[in-house]
């Protein structure tokens, strides 16, 4: 993830790890260049507007 | 006869990420907005947004707009590699056609003006008339 919403993902993983006795790591913010993946397309699909 | 056309893609979102259940969570979205803006060779602007159906009716949003030609070139190059998949795919498809009209200066001709109207209308018609979702076949081809 690249946004502050990673906080919600971390909460989910922490809860999941606790409940199911797993050890899924809490990864940090993704800092790879934007043009290397479809992440920006995803956010444009969700929040973009063509005018 | 149009001599200039305005078209751009706008990305708009609340300025902060917050949680209603935990008011201590209040993190600015600015850094990744800045990253997107830098990638699209543009900048981040702020404005007030008014939504009647929300409890918090007026709130600040930060926006990234591809209003410069340089930004549009970067954006359409990116979208050619990683296209949109929702309804906005059709917006992107026809906006790209409008962009090409502009690049070829066709929008200054009568034929170009007719195409401009056609693309603008198709953008709306396509979405309202059970569009073909064939582009979803490419979903597995992107990262």
Q: Are residues B135 and B89 in the same domain?
A: yes
Q: For B73-110, how does the pLDDT look when each residue is reduced to its tens digit (9 = 90+)?
A: 999 999 999 988 888 888 888 889 999 988 998 888 89
Q: State the best of B82, B116, B127 to mutate against chain A, taking most chain A CBs within 10 Å.
A: B82
Q: For A14-40, how does the pLDDT look when each residue is reduced to its tens digit (9 = 90+)?
A: 999 999 999 999 999 999 999 889 999
Q: Is the pLDDT reported for residue B61 higher than 80?
A: no
**Whose CA is closest to B90, among B42, B143, B136, B142?**
B136
Q: Are residues B59 and B96 in the same domain?
A: no
Pairing of strands A48-50, B44-50: unpaired
User: Which DSSP string corresponds to B54-113?
Assistant: SSS-EEEEEEEE--SHHHHHHHHHHHHHS---STHHHHHHHHHHHHHHHHTTGGGSHHHH
Rounded distance, CA B90 to CA A45, Å? 11
Residue B16 lies in a domain: yes
Identity of the highest mean pLDDT range in A47-51, B33-37, B44-48, B136-140: B33-37
Tell me what the mean pLDDT of segment B39-50 comes to: 81
Residue B100 lies in a domain: yes
Q: Is the pLDDT reported for residue B2 higher than 70?
A: no
CB B14 within 8 A of CB A5: no
Q: Are residues B87 and B42 in the same domain?
A: no
CA B16 to chain CA centroid, Å, is 21
Q: Which of B6, B28, B88 sits opposite A48 (nearest CB)?
A: B88
Which run of H or of E encompasses B30?
helix B30-39
**Residue B59 forms beta bridges with which residues?**
B49
Q: Which of residues 1-51 of A touch B (CB under 8 A)?
A: 2-5, 7-8, 33-38, 40-41, 43-45, 47-51
**Phi, psi dihedrals of residue B15, rounded to the nearest 5°:** -70, -35
Q: Are residues B16 and B59 in the same domain?
A: yes
Q: Which of A4, A37, A41 sits opposite B79 (nearest CB)?
A: A41
Q: Are residues B60 and B105 in the same domain?
A: no
| Number of folded domains that form chain B | 2
CB B97 within 8 A of CB B117: no
- Closest residue of B to A2, CA-based? B32
Confidence (pTM) = 0.81
Q: What is the pLDDT of residue B55?
A: 56
Q: Rounded mean pLDDT of chain B?
A: 82
Which run of H or of E encompasses B121?
helix B110-128
Residue B128 lies in a domain: yes
Domain range for B88? 82-141
Rounded distance, CA B35 to CA B15, Å? 14
């Amino acid at each position: 993830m690249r946004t502050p919403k990673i906080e919600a993902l971390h909460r989910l993983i922490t809860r999941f790890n606790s409940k199911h006795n797993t050890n899924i790591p809490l990864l940090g913010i993704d800092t790879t260049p934007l043009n290397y993946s479809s992440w920006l397309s995803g956010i444009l699909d969700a929040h973009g507007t063509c005018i | 006869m149009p001599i200039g056309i305005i078209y751009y893609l706008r990305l708009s979102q609340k300025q902060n990420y917050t949680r209603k259940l935990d008011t201590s969570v209040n993190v600015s979205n600015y850094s990744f907005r800045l990253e997107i803006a830098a990638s699209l060779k543009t900048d981040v602007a702020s404005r007030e947004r008014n939504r009647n159906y929300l409890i918090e009716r007026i709130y600040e949003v930060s926006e990234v707009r591809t209003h410069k030609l340089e930004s549009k070139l970067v954006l359409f190059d990116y979208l050619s590699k990683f296209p949109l998949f929702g309804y906005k795919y059709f917006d992107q498809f026809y906006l790209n056609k409008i962009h090409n009209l502009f690049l070829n200066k066709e929008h200054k001709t009568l034929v170009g003006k007719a195409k401009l109207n056609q693309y603008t209308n198709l953008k709306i018609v396509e979405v309202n008339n059970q569009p073909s979702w064939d582009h979803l076949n490419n979903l597995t081809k992107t990262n």
